[in-house]
């Protein structure tokens, strides 16, 4: 099935289940509502349009999209976002996503899940990273981190951008359950596990530098799909300067409206090691269960591979900003 067919089938299935009533339409795409004016959700996908590619055809060859992260080899740098819930989309949704992710040679990320859901996902054998919410109750965080480590997660982390909860439209959610953490408190979390600890929701050089100093095992550059504050920067706007600070000392992941292989290529060129996508995998799930998830990852990876070949990048290590032309006008 082609990309467009998958998306159309997914939308039809979601409409039939009356799920899209809580979504907003933006430029032909259904999106979850963000904070206040919903600027971030509207802007996330448009920011990619600022970048164009150069052709570098002579001496080019079929590119490899393989990547090694935390000692494991993956077929693609296009990874699952940190997913939660989705029971309105399918039965056993996270297991189905995990199955599709594993089949495509990618990596699974989990958000809010029960211990049983976590075990079910890890039982599929897919390499998994667990992201725990930054609860006021640090002991609850430590408990969930321990459960993830014991269940076999390859890494863990927390959403530092969710210290003050989230917002959809004018509605705040979970502000009292969450709480900000000091550098000392974050270091305690990092030291509580033997696994790499990932800081998700980094959107500044300052937080990236602090994450590095505290001992993070990776960061996710993210604006949390616009549900933290309105008018948050797009991750790609701050990614290059974060890359300058971090270098190759830990993996840099990024999320924020990724839809096609061209979007992934732009992020890699600007300094990311890998890209996370939630919405697109949910659409794959809605279209055709675990097979739909695998199909969408394979399609985006194939698009990325072709662009790499056309731009003269034989493997991921050869991708950098020289493949891009940027326009500095308009959105």
Tell me if 39 is assigned to some domain.
yes
**Among 26-30, 115-119, 260-264, 301-305, whose mean pLDDT is lowest?**
26-30
Give domain status of residue 327, yes or no: no
Q: If you average pLDDT over every residue of the chain, what do you get? A: 92
Let me know if residue 254 belongs to a domain: yes
Choose between 36 and 231: higher pLDDT. Answer: 231
- Distance from C-alpha of 64 to C-alpha of 301, rounded to nearest angstrom: 10
Establish if 321 belongs to a structural domain. no
pLDDT value of position 197: 99
Any domain includes 319? no
Q: Give the pLDDT of residue 35.
A: 72
Residue 120 pLDDT exceeds 70:
yes
**DSSP-derived 3-state class of residue 199:** strand
Segment 209-238 shows an average pLDDT of 93
In a domain, 35, yes or no: yes
* pLDDT score of 28: 45
pLDDT at 285 over 90: yes
pLDDT grade for 176, boundaries at 50, 70 and 90: confident
Digit-coded pLDDT (tens) for 134-160: 999 999 999 999 999 999 999 999 999
Q: Are 54 and 324 in contact (CB under 8 A)?
A: yes
For residue 315 the two structure tokens come to 């493997």
| 31 within domain boundaries | yes
Instruction: State pTM to two decimals.
Output: 0.94
Residues of the domain holding 184: 3-314
- Residue 329 forms part of a structural domain: no
Phi, psi of 129 (to 5 degrees): -110, 130
Which tokens in the block code for residue 110? Answer: 């989990």
pLDDT single digits (tens) 57-109: 999 999 999 999 999 999 999 999 999 888 888 889 999 999 999 999 999 99
Q: Report the pLDDT value the prediction gives residue 21, as an integer from 0 to 100.
A: 53
CATH code (residue 193): 3.20.20.70
Task: Look at residue 26 in the predicted model and tell me its pLDDT.
Answer: 42
Of residues 310 and 40, more confidence is placed in 310
Of 245, 247, 300, 299, the C-alpha closest to 273 is: 247
Q: What's the structural domain count of the chain?
A: 1
């Amino acid at each position: 099935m082609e990309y467009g067919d998958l998306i159309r089938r997914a939308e039809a299935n979601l409409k039939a289940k009356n799920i899209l009533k809580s979504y907003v339409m933006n430029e032909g795409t259904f999106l979850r509502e963000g904070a206040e004016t919903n600027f971030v959700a509207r802007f996330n996908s448009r920011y990619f349009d600022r970048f164009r590619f150069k052709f570098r055809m002579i001496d080019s060859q079929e590119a490899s999209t393989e990547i090694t992260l935390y000692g494991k080899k993956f077929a693609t740098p296009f990874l699952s976002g940190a997913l939660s819930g989705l029971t309105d989309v399918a039965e056993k949704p996270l297991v189905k996503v995990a199955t599709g992710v594993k089949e495509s040679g990618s990596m699974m990320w989990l958000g809010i899940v029960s211990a049983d859901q976590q075990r079910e996902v890890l039982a599929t054998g897919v390499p998994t990273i667990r992201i725990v919410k930054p609860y006021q109750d640090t002991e609850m965080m430590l408990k969930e981190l321990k459960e993830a480590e014991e269940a076999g997660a390859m890494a863990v982390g927390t959403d530092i951008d969710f210290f003050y909860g989230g917002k959809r439209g004018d509605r705040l959610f979970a502000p009292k359950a969450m709480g900000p953490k000091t550098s000392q408190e974050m270091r305690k979390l990092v030291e509580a596990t033997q696994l790499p600890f990932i800081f998700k929701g980094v959107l500044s050089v300052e937080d990236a530098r602090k994450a590095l100093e505290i001992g993070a095992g990776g960061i996710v550059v993210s604006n949390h799909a616009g549900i933290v504050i309105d008018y948050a920067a797009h991750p790609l706007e701050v990614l290059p300067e974060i890359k300058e600070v971090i270098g190759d000392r830990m993996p840099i992941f990024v999320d924020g409206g990724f839809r096609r292989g061209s979007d992934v290529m732009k992020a890699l060129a600007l300094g990311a090691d890998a890209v996370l996508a939630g919405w697109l995998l949910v659409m794959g799930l809605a279209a055709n269960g675990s097979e739909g998830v695998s199909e969408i990852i394979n399609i985006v990876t194939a698009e990325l591979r072709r662009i790499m070949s056309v731009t003269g990048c034989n493997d991921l290590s050869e991708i950098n900003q020289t493949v891009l032309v940027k326009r500095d006008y308009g959105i």
